[in-house]
Amino acid sequence: MGRVLQPFAYFEPSSLTEAIALVGAPDTRILAGGSDLILRMRRGEARPSRVVSLAKVTGLDWLAVSSAGDLEIGALATLSRVRQLVAASHQWGAFQDALDQLTPPQVHNTGTVVGNICAAVPYYDLPTALFALGAKPRIVGAEGERLLPLADFYVAAGTTALRRDELVASIIVPPSPVNAGSAFAKILKAARRASDVHKVNAAARLVIDAENGSIGEAAIVIGSCGLRPWRAPDAEALLIGAIAGEGVFEAAAVAAADAVQPLTDVPWVEAARRGFVRALVGDILNLAAQRARQHDGSAA
Amino acid sequence: MSERLSYVGKRLARPDIAAKVTGRAVYTADVALPGLLQGRILGSPHPHAKIGNIDTTRARALPGVVAVITHADVPSDKFTRSTLAEAMPDFAFAGERLDQTILTSRARYVGDWVAAVAAEDIYVAEKALALIEVEYEPLPAVFDPRAALRPDAPLVHDDAPGNVAQRMEFPFNAGDTAQALAEADVTVEFFGVSSRQKHIHLETDAAVAWFDADGRLTVISPSQGPHLAKRQVARRIFRDIDESKIHWISPAIGGGFGARLALGVEPAAIALARAAGRPVRVTTTREEDFSGYSSRTDHHQTVRLGAKSDGTLTAIDYRIVADSGAYFSHSGSTTAVNIQMTLGTFQVPNRYGQFTIAYTNTPTTSGFRGYGNAEGAFVLQQAIDILAEKLDIDPVEIRLKNIQKSGDPSCLPPVPVEHTRLDECLRRGAERFGWTEKWCGWGRCKTGRHRRGVGVSAITHSSGAGGFLLETSNASIKLGADGSASLFVSPCEMGQGILGALTQVAAESSGLSREAIHVVTGDTDITPFDLGSHASRSMLVVGNAVADAGAKIKHQIRERAVPLFALRQIKAEPSEIEVREGRVFLFDRQDVGFDLRDVAEAAIFNFADRSEQIAATGAYSAHSHHPNHQAAFAEVEVDTHTGAVKVIEYLAAHDIGRAINPQLVEGQIEGGAIQGLGFALTEDFVIDPDTGVVLSNSLQTYRVPTANDIPEVETILVEDPYAGGPFGAKGVGEAGIVNPAPAIANAIYDAIGVRMTSLPMSADKILYLLAEREKKSGVAPGASAVSGQSI
Amino acid sequence: MTKQIATFTINGRSRDAIIEPHFLLIDVVRDIFGLTGTKLGCGSGECGACTVLIDGEPVNACLTLAIAAGGRSITTIEGLHDGQAGLHPLQQAFIDHGAAQCGYCTPGVLLSMTALLAANGNPSAADVKSALSGNICRCTGYVKIIDAVLDAAARLRLRNERGAAA
């Protein structure tokens, strides 16, 4: 814990190959925007002797929607650029919500989506939203490239499935079909034990049949309630095949709340946490359905 | 006095604001000095531990380290951090607990200061801290004040049996409350806990200290009372330094709110400067601020009210258990003031107050804007509403019925209330707010997910601590031959704008033009004695001293103008001469006169007669605390699904006497309202009941209001000049933060029928309480009184 | 040791400093360049007191490595003025409205608002609040800050209209 950082060796590779070679060494951390790493280093939670900056690696600031409709976000694409593109695309509502609600504004100019995802901080918002949207990190390493669903990417708090000689070059968000809608929301609270978390967040994605209003696909992701975001399959099961509506969403919200594992042994704190999950899931299901029905996945 | 005012009542820009909007204002950590070393302090990781051997060998050996100190290297005399305690009469000071050392040999909270380093740069200083090896022998610790007061509790201080830091019956109890409560037509009992609101002054604690070649000590720090601080340091801590050898400078202060009325890192900086033989700047991090030595304290408050069936209060019985944390500082005086204000806001013939302050192994607490009144109002104003509901009386009406009137014994009996317009604050506030349209009566059940409610609170605060502490001010003005004036005054400008307001008072009372006055402040070598900034005193007490000095200046100008009129063949008596806005002229011939500069120059450049610069010192002492009053109204909307409370509208009507500068007064009311909003709803200081670690140790986990969180804020200034204040002015700095929590609590009750018994009234508590009411699920709330664990 | 000479463009001027990779931008700005107008409030990117503009965008200098900011254009509060005319309209509006109290948050606030007005010359109160949400003020309650920014925006629009008409 300090006011300043302590010295480290600093590298600025200019190619992905060079970067991969550098990150393989022991006691090395990767720097993208720095919002997470620099803070951890100042607080003494991370003490790498080597820091590899991706700032000069060509090609990592790629940000575009492919011809197949995937959104590919390069490791250096800032929150600010991504937010603009997502807003203009009128898809991926949960992602737009999470970006809109991410504070402070200053971090949008330096923080990166990939950096946010790779930090594996249990209470971050983007992982929850991107999990619900089926996003996949594109991992590159000495042995080649692989795509991994976020569900498999998070192993524990602060730990991802990245091998030592790998880094995430980009994250791919699949296209959103026209009758899909998604939403994200969060509630801030006090952490009342060391194991408690100071917020609850949740994201949901629904695909609703335009003809009969029945739910074809459902994803409910709860974040900040554990070491990594998790899906609520029992709640999702109540939705599949059902006609979208407040009653069925409330039932799913109750099921999601029931699936929350306590983080503390304080009954009232856990009761409140479950209450928050229930409220959030109810609200985001309604919003996701509304967006799905508008044939427009946007947050507008 | 003529009511034609040139400067009083005007929205004029403060003299220090240009520096603030250009980044040129100099704060403590901005000061650059040749040879300046960087100092950092090591905190204990244990909540309670004996400290054995401290091995500083490796730290000292690090290149660039100049000094490493531990408790063995600093004076062992114990002191209280509270600078304000220096203003107490001896008999009151005797009740203060002197329990603090600069660096400790026994850690009493996580973060307690164990060692300090001064080095050539901060990187080396921090590396050195990590190399200090401390032997800790952990001791049993206690974090819950109620547990601390039990006979089997581990002792935080060996000389405080039962962990009682102080226990007192309020010295101004009156009547027979037990009997009055027994005979009352209706009684109410209500319990509530305030919280350890953090000041969150954006400038974290820092200090610079150095000894001159002749042994004179200079300290630069954001102290709110440098004249008192130097006395404190010499008398209580560094007893081998004579107070006359101390020079204390308070530069621009990045927010005070009462935190700077206690010593922070200054003693450590002085000790390091002495050990190093060079100037040292000690800085702290925001995390260290959270686990440090300043916040409000938890007051566990039980109030009982007795009343007649028409709503007239007959009795108030008020008992507090307060959690001091590991050291005493301001906990005694804030608790005493809590009782004083709570017993004194309404006219109640039978009054009883009593408090016990407990030590716990948690961070030290201190004084915070509102100083006990903010804590108590949360409980008292809800109790009044509970009474009103029992009797089916409108909350505004029951307050109008019971508030103090002029002549009633005040909250520091037997001094009578000299002046109050709280009734007008209530009436005008209610009307502008639309109270009768918005309040639907008792027992109206609201429905739907989002429910709205309204609430009111009406309070009294002081303008200075007259009758309680030394309450005095001195101010000087000198007039240069160039016609400019220097105003020497030390109220401690920490953002409230007092320097600007005092300049307006100085100009108005002296007849000088405001533009000609230059303020000199914050330097004990230069400014006359003043206590500093606390108890909303600055305008009334310091303003009276400034007005006194100004009147004397005007008198001198008139006298010195006589020969100048004579040179123009005009025979004028001083009483016929007026001075206003920098011009000297005849009352009945306003076109006959000259620039004040001519008088000022002639006073000095006088070859014929006596040359004497026009200069004067004014003084004022207060023996009453000159109450100011405020009524506030809040409208809230509660989301019953999430427990979130949104404040839709907030209105405060303040009895200001006279607003010397209405823009500054509004700034205090608005700023206080938002700081009070945080206290009410989101600022949750949480200590882990198992480890004593502060869990809310960042601005993410301890949430203060941002621009996105503010409601519509409206202010009404009720101006009925008060004869005891300069041009009729009273104080305003603190009342604004006292009203929001109670007004919002009462509004929440109106919206959802739930009485909140702890601060903040956070969403998780509301959600839990709503669910409890529905289901009676039997989920145990827990009985912990550890900070941040009450529901 | 990894000491190196880095070149910074600060407030329009090129300046060199000897830095190491672990130096934070805020410390280089304050301690090496002596521009102490930028303030440290939390060191965690949560209060915005350290806000500087990098290529015109608000950034928290407390979470930026100095070495990463070389070659970019940095603006601190010392660089905010109105050409030869003195105070920027935002600064003048803050004075007129009493929008600064202790002044510690003020440099960061002014720079965030400069960026806002550059991107949006006619912001609503909600736009101002949103752009301000990363700058904590503990003194003013934000009320007069918002008034001042809206007023400054109006003054700038008027000046631009006059400039366009001329």
Q: What are B198-209's pLDDT values in tens digits?
A: 999 999 999 999
Which residues of C fall within a CB distance of 8 Å from A6?
Answer: 22
Contact B572, B771 (CB under 8 A): no
Asked if B486 and B594 sit in the same domain, the reply is: yes
d(CA C146, CA B128): 45
Residue B4 falls within a domain, yes or no? Answer: no
pLDDT at A300 over 50: no
Q: Is the peptide bond before A104 cis (omega within 30 degrees of 0)?
A: yes
Which residues partner with B164 through β-bridges? B358
Which residues of B fall within a CB distance of 8 Å from A2?
Answer: 126, 285
Asked if B36 reaches chain C (Cβ–Cβ under 8 Å), the answer is no
Asked if B201 reaches chain C (Cβ–Cβ under 8 Å), the answer is yes
Q: Which of residues 58-117 of A touch C (CB under 8 A)?
A: 80, 103-107, 109-110
Asked if B38 and B125 sit in the same domain, the reply is: yes
Asked if B495 and B513 sit in the same domain, the reply is: yes
Residue B8 falls within a domain, yes or no? Answer: no
Mutate to test the interface with B, among C138, C144, C145, C149 (most CBs of B within 10 A): C138
Which residues of B fall within a CB distance of 8 Å from C43?
Answer: 285-286
Q: Is the peptide bond before B740 cis (omega within 30 degrees of 0)?
A: no
Which residues of C fall within a CB distance of 8 Å from A11?
Answer: none
- Per-residue pLDDT, averaged over A171-200, amounts to 96
pLDDT at A155 over 90: no
Phi, psi angle pair for B482, to nearest 5° = -85, 5
Contact A186, A284 (CB under 8 A): no
Residue B398 falls within a domain, yes or no? Answer: no
- Tracing tokens 């820092």 back to the chain, one arrives at B206
pLDDT at C165 over 80: no
Contact C99, C147 (CB under 8 A): yes
Residue B165 falls within a domain, yes or no? Answer: yes
Nearest CA in chain A to B39: A3
Q: Hey, how many other C-beta atoms are within 10 angstroms of the C-beta on B45?
A: 15
Q: What is residue B780's predicted lDDT score, i.e. its pLDDT?
A: 59
Q: Are residues B764 and A276, on separate chains, in Cβ contact within 8 Å? A: yes
Token pair listed for B370: 């509102």
> C9-19 burial, b for 16+ CB within 10 Å, e for fewer?
bbbeeeeebeb
Q: What is residue B413's predicted lDDT score, i.e. its pLDDT?
A: 55
Asked if B379 and B444 sit in the same domain, the reply is: no
Asked if B656 and B516 sit in the same domain, the reply is: no
Q: Are residues A190 and B127, on separate chains, in Cβ contact within 8 Å? A: no
Asked if B371 and B257 sit in the same domain, the reply is: no
Q: Which domain holds residue B237?
A: 31-139+198-294
Which residues of C fall within a CB distance of 8 Å from A8?
Answer: 21-22
pLDDT at B333 over 90: yes
Asked if B698 reaches chain A (Cβ–Cβ under 8 Å), the answer is no
Asked if B711 reaches chain C (Cβ–Cβ under 8 Å), the answer is no
Cβ-nearest to A3 among B283, B763, B767: B283
Asked if C130 reaches chain A (Cβ–Cβ under 8 Å), the answer is yes
Which amino acid is located at B765 in the chain?
K
Mutate to test the interface with A, among C62, C64, C65, C120 (most CBs of A within 10 A): C65
How does residue A261 score in pLDDT terms, banded at 50, 70 and 90?
A: very high
Residue B603 falls within a domain, yes or no? Answer: yes
Boundary of a domain, candidates B606, B621, B636 = B621
- State chain B's mean pLDDT as an integer: 95
Cβ-nearest to C45 among A8, A39, A41: A39
Asked if B379 and B449 sit in the same domain, the reply is: no
Q: What is residue C84's predicted lDDT score, i.e. its pLDDT?
A: 62
Of the candidates C70, C58, C57, the one whose C-alpha atom is nearest the C-alpha of residue C25 is C70
Q: Are residues A6 and C57, on separate chains, in Cβ contact within 8 Å? A: no
- Per-residue pLDDT, averaged over B71-93, amounts to 94
Cβ-nearest to C43 among A42, A104, A106: A42
Contact B298, B786 (CB under 8 A): no
Boundary of a domain, candidates B273, B294, B315 = B294
B535: Cα within 13 Å, side-chain hemisphere: 30
**Neighbours of A (≥3 Cβ pairs closer than 8 A)?**
B, C
Write down the ipTM of this complex.
Answer: 0.97
Asked if B90 and B236 sit in the same domain, the reply is: yes
Asked if B309 and B219 sit in the same domain, the reply is: no
Instruction: Give the distance from CA B111 to its chain's centroid.
Output: 24
pLDDT at A179 over 60: yes
Asked if B89 and B208 sit in the same domain, the reply is: yes
pLDDT at B648 over 60: yes
Q: Are residues A275 and B771, on separate chains, in Cβ contact within 8 Å? A: yes
Q: Which CATH number fits the domain that encloses residue B587?
A: 3.30.365.10
What SS3 state is found at B454? Answer: strand
Q: Which CATH number fits the domain that encloses residue B207?
A: 3.90.1170.50
How does residue B442 score in pLDDT terms, banded at 50, 70 and 90?
A: very high
d(CA B377, CA B357): 19
- Tracing tokens 């509630």 back to the chain, one arrives at A187
- Per-residue pLDDT, averaged over A273-291, amounts to 98
φ/ψ bin of B215: left (φ > 0), alpha (ψ from -120 to 50), beta (otherwise): left
- Per-residue pLDDT, averaged over C120-130, amounts to 98
**Neighbours of C (≥3 Cβ pairs closer than 8 A)?**
A, B
d(CA B119, CA C26): 20
With pLDDT > 90 as the criterion, what percentage of chain B qualifies? 92
Q: Hey, how many other C-beta atoms are within 10 angstroms of the C-beta on B136?
A: 17
Which residues of C fall within a CB distance of 8 Å from B674?
Answer: 140-143
User: B with C: how many residue pairs have Cβ under 8 Å apart?
Assistant: 169
Asked if B73 and B132 sit in the same domain, the reply is: yes
Residue B2 falls within a domain, yes or no? Answer: no
Q: Are residues C45 and A7, on separate chains, in Cβ contact within 8 Å? A: no
d(CA B281, CA B293): 19
What SS3 state is found at B204? Answer: coil
Q: What is residue A298's predicted lDDT score, i.e. its pLDDT?
A: 53
Q: Are residues B765 and A275, on separate chains, in Cβ contact within 8 Å? A: no
Cβ-nearest to A3 among B122, B643, B791: B122
How does residue B468 score in pLDDT terms, banded at 50, 70 and 90?
A: confident
- Per-residue pLDDT, averaged over B572-601, amounts to 94
Asked if B400 reaches chain A (Cβ–Cβ under 8 Å), the answer is no
Q: What are C14-58's pLDDT values in tens digits?
A: 999 999 999 999 999 999 999 999 999 999 999 999 999 999 999
Task: List the strands of the sheet with B583-586, edge to edge.
Answer: B577-580, B583-586, B589-595
pLDDT at B1 over 50: no
Q: What is residue A156's predicted lDDT score, i.e. its pLDDT?
A: 78
Asked if C161 reaches chain A (Cβ–Cβ under 8 Å), the answer is no
Q: What is residue B773's predicted lDDT score, i.e. its pLDDT?
A: 86
Q: What is residue A48's predicted lDDT score, i.e. its pLDDT?
A: 96
Q: Are residues B703 and A269, on separate chains, in Cβ contact within 8 Å? A: no
pTM of the model: 0.97
Q: How far away is chain A from the Cα of C158, in angstroms, using its nearest Cα? A: 28
Boundary of a domain, candidates B556, B588, B621 = B621
Count the residues in chain C.
166
Question: Which domains, and CATH codes, for chain A?
Answer: 9-53 (3.30.43), 63-173 (3.30.465.10), 180-292 (3.30.390.50)
Q: Looking at the 3D structure of chain B, how many domains does it have?
A: 4
Asked if B34 reaches chain C (Cβ–Cβ under 8 Å), the answer is no
Mutate to test the interface with C, among B11, B14, B20, B665 (most CBs of C within 10 A): B20
Q: What are B334-364's pLDDT values in tens digits?
A: 999 999 999 999 999 999 999 999 999 999 9
Cβ-nearest to A268 among B641, B643, B781: B781
Asked if B632 and B771 sit in the same domain, the reply is: yes
d(CA B617, CA B611): 19
Which residues of C fall within a CB distance of 8 Å from A34?
Answer: 63-65, 68
With pLDDT > 70 as the criterion, what percentage of chain B qualifies? 98
